[in-house]
Chains A and B, each alone.
Chain A
Amino acid sequence: MVACSSILKRIFLHLLFVTLFSVLHADDPEKSVIQIMTFSQQPDWDEPWNDSRVRGSTGSGFVIEGNRIMTNAHVVSWAKQIQVRRFQDSRPHLAEVAYIGHDCDLAVLTVEDPTFFEGLDPLPIGVLPKVRSVVNTIGYPAGGEQISFTSGVVSRIELINYVQPGNRSLLAVQTDAAINPGNSGGPVLQDGQVVGVAFQGTPGLENTGFFIPPPIVQHFLKDIEDGVYDGFPQAGIRLSPLINPAYRKYLKMGDDSASTGARVDTLVSDSAKEFLREDDVLLEINGYAVAADATILYEGNQVHGAIAFSQAQHGQSVPVKVWRQGQAMEIALPVHVNQKDRLEGNQYEPPKYFVYAGLVFTPLSRDYLTTFGQNWSAVAGIGLLYELFYKKNAEPGKARKEPIMLSTVLSHPVNANMEIRGRVLVDAINGHRIDSLEDVIQALEEHDGSHHLIEFGERLGFECLDRQDADSANAAIMETYGIQKDRWL
């Protein structure tokens, strides 16, 4: 992840790959490996009407069925222009993102010029490689202009956090391949078939690179068949190990089942609340037996049971076998893509904002907090961290759908006497609780009193603005600070 402009921000993402050209089985697979150059521009969450300077970066991709190129989402995030080049061909061709899945860090590109694909064979998608087997990677990592071939051994297969979304964990394969910035999105091959898409490494650990395995790639391709990318669904539950003998006895689990079944600790989604109960014991998910430590045996790998739910597509039901109050029962559990934790992860849409009388309002999000600097969590303080990451679980009745920050105050005589100058959470405006940016706009625009009253949380009190002065100053402030639109929703 090296390549794209978001890399610097997310230093965890790197690239992979290592060689061993001689063991490749397919004929000239390197011809189907594409070099991708992306020119991107990220928004500035602190001043959301501004964008960063344009940055160029490179990545890798490969041709798949349907005259398309598969790569990582992070290679083409925030792209303003994407250029692609064939093997040993210096001509750039313009490409576009057809589908992008930030949760699985995959994207599919199309190329304007139909002749681009002439003579290029799509690389077939294979199956999950075995641990200890050798895999080969091809791509365009940094350190040179030409294509690079590397190889490594499959070290382990498990659920890991995908850095592109930041708050999603999916199946990934770890190899001992050296990690080189530059060829994210390139194919990982075994027996002439793609068994993964190179995508990230772990800073500080040697010989650990990760690739996205075929089950995730196939799920993504299946998802986009209907023309819309939905994403990977979740069961909406928190699964806990059920190891303690007393707990097992409490749930009337027999002694003969000591190693099976994990406990539903918390119900998060609405569908989970409808179909499951806390302290239900999941015995099977989608045909996989669930062990007491909440894992399943998946293709010979002991992985977290959540994998079994993510095999389904958004809106489908997953068969589960449940032990409830001393009885086993079968349930078809609908699974959905979780949209409620959007603000907690990295987003790839321009930030929403509203500017009024120099007061800049924008949603509290992980992206916003990262503008506080490298040490953003310390700078943000407990109040904002709790509001964004913890409150919805700790105090669901009090949590806000979209917490809103007064991110900054653009100085002008109308607001110059305000003591609070930004980086504070907005509690209420003109007596209305603020649950979204739309609430801010409504509370300010529909108010006809002499003053606006803006109240903040965290013992910060409130501020007031003369409404008429504020209304009349708005246009001048917009002009002074070069803001073309007072809102982006």
Chain B
Amino acid sequence: MNIVVCTKQVPDTAATLKVDELSNVSWGEAPLVLNPWDEFTVEEALRLKEKHGGKVTVVAMGPDATRDALKQAVAMGCDEAVQLWDPVFDGSDAPATAIVLAKAIEKIGADLVLCGKQAIDGDTGLVPPGLAHRLGWPLLAFVAKVRELDPAGKTLTVERLLEEGRQVVSSRLPAVVAVVKEINEPRYPSFMGIRKASKMQPSVWSAADLGVDAAGAGRSAAGVQWTRIFAPPPREGTVELVAGDSPEEIAAKLADKLMAEKVI
């Protein structure tokens, strides 16, 4: 089983973000981390490898800062890491990112591709379906459980967590699977893993290495323009604390207010 894990490096959730008048977003000294959804992805890839054998390759598109995320994935246990970067990739939108990832996956050769539900910076969730479509492989997204995987028969069955419940779907391999949190509990990097990651230099593949047409990636090819990024207006007013001599009195006062606000 050749498994490819697609990841992204993002500012830590707890980072305080600043945005200037030119829409440049910065996060001070806060670290860049492996996208939180991708921790579940890496863990699932490692579990599937432990069960079925094979190799796990982690890929990420981005400049050199991306290497920290790749190292984190290697420290958890991934076998190899590939950084996809070329200045022409800068400013790629989700469909262009899917194209670059698809080229890398074709070059590596995969039986299964795993992605996280979405990256917590752009929050679009558009890359996994775009990637599957580009590869011409089935997409199984919002996966909370891999029920069965048969590498020889080239089939898998998963549980997808939709709004109303679980859809159980079977599909052929190769396929793109995007996972949600329920699927597992990610392991911590091992001491050996951290040592391996500290020495590792990921391969770096450029547009030419990947056979990506420069006109098909980057800001100039993007189908959307981000015209402005700004801080949301602060919530109006401060909290009004409701107090009283008994829970019943507090409840009655709060009920009065909520009914007056017409939210109930």
Q: A and B, one complex?
A: no
